[in-house]
Amino acid sequence: MTPGEPRLEVFPSGTGVFANQMPTAASFCFPKARRLTHRSEYERVKRDGITRRGKLLMLNVAAVENSSTWRAGFVTSRQMGGAVVRNRVRRRLREIVRRHQHELREGFWFVLIARHGAAIASYGALEDEWLRLGRRASILL
């Protein structure tokens, strides 16, 4: 490797990115490593955490000892509607969390559960509800 050649970084997932393309500390990316991906993780948050309920969303939050970062999970029920509706709500929730990720405290896992009204709610209403519930659960700075 020559001094001017970019270095390839390989992540545990097997994907590689050149070092000059690495996200900065203040970036707004939302990598998969920040998401809860296994059923056992969702169950742990439900079992060990607290729940805050709102009109459009429910927020389950659990403090995790060995986790220095926060991680998020998103749940939409089939009762909400078809796949298109559920995926739209999940995309909106991911975007809301991504935009406010620098305001989140570290060491918490949380699960956002969309209630029936979230399917017809505006983006602004979902964002207001997330901010209100996050402050009530003390996970936002």
Q: What is the pLDDT of residues 94-110, one digit of tens each?
A: 999 999 999 999 999 99
Q: How many CB atoms lie within 10 A of CB 11?
A: 11
36-53, pLDDT tens digit by residue?
Answer: 999 999 999 999 999 999
Tell me if residue 26 falls in helix, strand or coil.
coil
Among candidate residues 36, 37, 60, the one with its CA nearest the CA of residue 49: 60
How far apart CA 123 and CA 131 sit, in angstroms, is: 12
Instruction: Give the pLDDT of residue 18.
Output: 47
Phi and psi angles of residue 134, each rounded to the nearest 5 degrees, phi first = -65, -40
**pLDDT category of residue 31 using cuts at 50, 70 and 90:** confident
How far apart CA 53 and CA 73 sit, in angstroms, is: 16
> pTM of this prediction?
0.78
